[in-house]
Amino acid sequence: MINKYDFYRPRNMMAEAAALGMIAGAIAVPHGTKEDAEVMVRYCKFLDDHGDIYQSQNGESAAKVLLVYPRTASHAGRVGGIEMIEVAGRTMIADHVQFDFVPDDLLEKTDLNKYRAIVASDSEGLTQETLEPFHKAGGRLIALPRGDDLVASLRWKKLGAAIVVGLEPRTGGKPAAAPFRVALRQAMGIPLIQTSAPYTLEAHAYWQPGRLVVHLVNYNRSENSVGKSVVAREAPIDVEPVQIQLALPQGVKIGRVRFLGPDAPGEEKLAFQQRETTVKFQIPTFKVYGVCVVELEAQP
């Protein structure tokens, strides 16, 4: 997540906020040059023209994984678990895994039944009573403890967790995170999004009535670029066409797939291939922000 006062990546700032169902910071929108003003007007107009996409914070998250922030432990001064949460989060972002994020003290107020996997790094703040319905529905708890404390391991076992040990800080998205990747795949099954896109392209998917909307944000850029305008110095490197495969619920039939973006006029209808519970399509080249609208023809 970029700093909302980042004066050098205004398009990323606006795209990221839109993709996360948030509001872009107006204070960081440049307008001092003609090029800046034209680009910012175009982005603002795109958001305004497609306001239905952004209603109710973009819709219902399509994530099947819940990442739990260890707020109870961190408030007690035990902050080691935060490093493991960073490893898990960065790994899922690099692998395009959709996940939601919640602190443990709000877990009781969270509907856990829609998740296949819960990832946590500290057992403090978790209870058997909260997790029992989740386990009964077939959900899996993945524990990423910091260190190999025996007492902590026993607590995790009582909570019915699959324990992943040996992870090191600052290894998120790297080969060293392989044990977590394996445990997550076993718990999650087939991920919602499968793509060969680089980690610099992030996807955020939401269910809306009659459609699945996938927001794509490209963070790739030429560092230390020069230019008279801010957007020239932002210097995004275009996303090359890449295939995306989505996992669908049983009984869902796709009607059409549309691609929208603030840097391209109008919309583009994408060819797609559906096979039972998957659909494949190729996204076109775009600069910073694109939206795939997957419209459903039939629902279970």
DSSP annotation string for 18-60: HHTT----GGG---SSHHHHHHHHHHHHHHHHTGGGGTTTTSE
Contact 289, 261 (CB under 8 A): yes
Pair of tokens at residue 129: 């009573």
> Considering all CA atoms of the chain, what is the largest pairwise distance in Å, rounded to the nearest integer?
63
| pLDDT at residue 81, rounded to an integer | 92
User: Contact, 139 vs 117, CB < 8 A?
Assistant: yes
Q: Residue 151 has what pLDDT?
A: 61
**What are the tens digits of pLDDT across the range 136-170?**
999 999 999 987 776 678 889 999 999 998 899 99
Looking at this protein, which amino acid is placed at residue 26? A
Cβ neighbours of 148 (radius 10 Å): 10
Q: Low-confidence residues of the chain, pLDDT below 70?
A: 1-7, 25-28, 150-151, 298-300
| Crossing angle of helices 34-49 and 10-19, rounded to 10° | 10
R_g over Cα of the chain: 20
Q: Is 80 left (phi over 0), alpha (psi -120 to 50) or beta?
A: alpha
> pLDDT at position 3, please?
65
Q: Both tokens of residue 184? A: 């997550």
pLDDT at 134: 95
- Check residue 4 and give its pLDDT: 58
Beta-carbon contacts of 138 under 8 Å, excluding residues fewer than 6 positions away, are 116
- 268 CB-near residues (< 8 Å, 6+ apart): 258, 259, 260, 284
Position 7 scores a pLDDT of 66
